Amino acid sequence: MTATPALPASDPSRPTATVPGSKVLYGADYNPEQWDPSIWREDVALMRQAGVNTVSLGIWSWALLEPAPGQFCFDWFDEVLGLLVEAGIDVDLATPTAAPPSWFYRAHPEARLVEADGTYRNGGSRGICCPHSPAYAAAAARITDAVAAHVAGNPHVTMWHVHNEYGAPGGDCHCETSQAAFRDWLKHRYGCLDELNRAWGTAFWGQLYGDWSEVTTPRHSGTALNPTCELDFARFTSDSLLARFTAERDIIRKHFPRTPVTTNLMATNCPANDYWRWAQDMDVVSTDYYLEADSPESQIWLAMESDLTRSLAGNRPWILMEHAVSAVSWQPHNRAKMPGEERRNALAHIARGADGVLAFQWRQSRRGAEKFHSAMVPHAGTDTRVFREVCALGGELTGLDELRGTEVRARVALLWDWNSFWAQDLAWRPSVLMRHREQMRRVYEWLWDRGTTVDFVHPEADLGRYDVVLAPASYLISDAAAANVAAFVHRGGRFAALPFFAVVDDEECVHEGGAPGPLRDVLGLTVEEVRPIPEGCEVTLAPTPAAGVPQDAGAVTATVWSEHLRLAGARGVWNAVDGPTPGPAITVHDYGRGTAVYVSVVLQPRALATVLDPLLDLPIDKPATLDGGRPRNLEAVTRHATDGSGRAYTVLLNHDAVAHRLALVGNDLLTGRELHATEPTTLAPGDVAVVCHETTGDH
Ligand SMILES: [Zn+2]
């Protein structure tokens, strides 16, 4: 079977594929239905004061817009819309299908989502019903059509926001209707039952199916389930939710043929959906990102979210659709942001290509489950630090409109594939410590530390624009992906794979002869045996002269994982000198005009820098505007104009608790100051500069 298609999200047939308007979008989810109408006028006046130009409206309004089946009430909605239009605030109008009304659950209990253990997911909270329920599909289509028809022709509806966070909570349903839909999906994928039995390896544990009716979703069972069934069910669920999105999108397009349609993804935080496929069906990519506030280096994970979202958008502009201006309410301990932190976070998203920054939500709820989630207007009102910072940020963003449409350019890419994510994290792997997310994060942190801006890329997508490609967590590699990587290296690319690499194909079948399967010739080795390292233990690696580090540089230590490698052309450049697999642990192989590095152990970010910087010949990354060294916690990302002018905008974010004196050249758009290298600029702790300058290169 063919693997997941991996087209970039740049289909020219899409109606606009751009962020609406000419300003950096600034605003929030607006939920006026939570408030007495007397508040609405104040809301709109405060929005103007804060510089808000766009709000997402109606996300949770289904029960108010359709109080009984087929009976619509738009009076309150029209009044709110009128107030927003009068104030010049654009509307990102939602389809309210993420929260069906209670009358729907009463009338259609069969539409409730069934969990793997057979329990029902009831109403009373939020989240999609069974994605295959005909009743839900009909009701969702009816309210979507009613809302779109009601506002048809309204030029202030500048964007459509379908549903909310598909996949959170997950959409994996095990009801009888979904079982039948899964069987149909499998028939389409495999054609016949013999082919399914082969692909799933059902001879194992005697799981052979003799009739399609025997095939089920991966329900709760005695012990580990068939992993290929689980992987296919993950693909099926992503496709099922995507079909719900496109159904609503297509209804909207009948009334709004030229208005961009989006839905808010959760790029790094939602394992439910294959967003490479989703992005192809979206006019504008948007994401929700909530800071890991207690993480000491939350700025790194924020950056990773932005880079993945920009990559999903095909390096076109994207929107931060939701974030928290201060604390959230659903983490175990919800730290409020420090003064200046929200500004720094918002501008960090802008740095990595966002053309809009919106929050959840405008006014902090007094009732309901999210009353302790921060908002632009907090419980304590406008005489607050939060609201003052909200207004100040709104003012600053108006000075950054010229950044819209500029692009971030990366020469290094990380392979990212939801299929590999799903497969690697299934049950019964050699170590529960070897998880996709942690592997990705270690590599991303190493590159963030050294100031290297990266793209994420599907393993079957064009790699031609990159100098270096890394595979931090490519446990699953299709034959097409392997051929793509091999061609990249053969043409002269520099490639590095991290452990547990290229183990299975897209049927979750171990490649013939074991890892790294179809990339054995590229890496010049075979993995003979995997030997996880017990928790709390370390393995010492010593460099050979070929490691490219001074021989007195000392050893690095590895954890979690080791592999016994049988070299066939590759050179061992770092050797394990103790632990369960003494011998070559990190290898280099020349293949065609390129180089392929294999790291068979788990290294922390600093050790990755020691080992991989010289082997991959990575340059020091420093923006052209900075004449001097870059402190580690000074994040600097450049957006380039695409009009051939050579104009560039470098956003510099000081994440340190100390000031930095920097030799900057250009014009700081936030302060309006001309900056000269001979008069060092002081960037205070937590402060940000957006420096406009001329450049001839990529940095
Ligand atoms: Zn179902």
How many angstroms is it from 254 CA to the middle of ligand 1? 28
Position 142 in a domain: no
Same-domain status, 461 and 598: yes
pLDDT at 697: 57
Residue 1 has pLDDT above 90, yes or no: no
Tell me: do 645 and 596 sit in the same domain: no
Strand partners, 286: 264, 319
Rounded (to 5) percent helix, strand, coil in the chain: 30, 20, 45
Tell whether the model's pLDDT for residue 160 goes beyond 60: yes
**Is-contact 485 461, C-beta < 8 A?**
no
Same-domain status, 597 and 649: no
Q: Which of 559, 582, 615 is the last residue of a domain?
A: 615
- Cα 53 to ligand 1 centre (Å): 39
Q: What is the CATH number of the domain that holds 672?
A: 2.60.40.1180
pLDDT digits (tens, 9 = 90+) for 29-75: 999 999 999 999 999 999 999 999 999 999 999 999 999 999 999 99
By C-alpha distance, which of 347, 358, 303, 340 is closest to 669?
A: 347
Of 66, 322, 389, 563, which residue is the catalytic one?
Answer: 322
Give yes or no: 512 in active site.
no
Same domain, 611 and 645: no
Q: Is residue 651 part of a domain?
A: yes
Indicate if 646 and 560 belong to the same structural domain: no
Average pLDDT over residues 647-676: 96
The answer to whether residue 541 is domain-embedded is yes
Q: Of all residues in the chain, what percent carry a pLDDT higher than 70? A: 97
CATH code of 573's domain: 3.40.50.880
**Annotated catalytic residue 322:** yes
Would 174 be classed as within a structural domain? no
Residues 582 and 454 in one domain: yes
* Mean predicted confidence (pLDDT) in 252-281: 95
> Is there a single domain that holds both residue 577 and residue 688?
no
182 CA distance to ligand 1 centroid (A)?
A: 10
Range of the domain at 527: 412-615
DSSP assigned state of 335: P
pLDDT for the residue numbered 400: 98
Q: Is the pLDDT of residue 179 over 90?
A: yes
What is residue 94's predicted lDDT score, i.e. its pLDDT?
Answer: 98
Task: Output the CA 180–ligand 1 centroid distance in Å.
Answer: 9
Q: For the chain, what is the mean pLDDT?
A: 95
Q: Are residues 601 and 653 in the same domain?
A: no
Domain membership flag for residue 650: yes
| pLDDT grade for 8, boundaries at 50, 70 and 90 | very low
User: Alpha-carbon torsion 689, 694, 698, 699, what sign?
Assistant: negative
User: 78 Cβ partners below 8 Å, 6+ apart?
Assistant: none
Domain end residue (candidates: 580, 615, 650):
615
pLDDT band at 17 (very low <50, low <70, confident <90, very high): low
Q: What is the pLDDT of residue 336?
A: 97
The strand order across the sheet containing 318-322 reads: 261-262, 157-162, 90-95, 54-57, 25-30, 354-359, 318-322, 286-288, 264-265
pLDDT greater than 90 at residue 248: yes
Is the model's pLDDT at 2 over the cut of 70? no
Residues surrounding ion ligand 1 at CB below 5 Å: 130, 173, 175, 177-178
* Residue where one domain finishes, among candidates 587, 615, 643: 615
Q: In terms of DSSP H, where are the helices of 491-550?
A: 520-523
What is the identity of the amino acid at 502? A
Q: Which pLDDT tens digit goes with each residue over 423-463? A: 999 999 999 999 999 999 999 999 999 999 999 999 999 99
Q: Please, what is the Cα angle at 642 between 640 and 643, to 5 degrees?
A: 125
Q: Same domain for 646 and 611?
A: no
Residue 659 lies in a domain: yes
Phi-psi domain of 533 (left: phi exceeds 0; alpha: psi -120 through 50; beta: other): beta
Is the residue at 532 inside a domain? yes
Least confident of 84-88, 268-272, 384-388: 268-272
* Residue 540 and residue 672 in one domain: no
- Phi, psi of 8, rounded to the nearest 5 degrees: -65, 155
How many whole angstroms from 170 Cα to the centroid of ligand 1?
Answer: 12
Please report whether residue 203 resides in a domain.
no
Domain count, the chain: 2
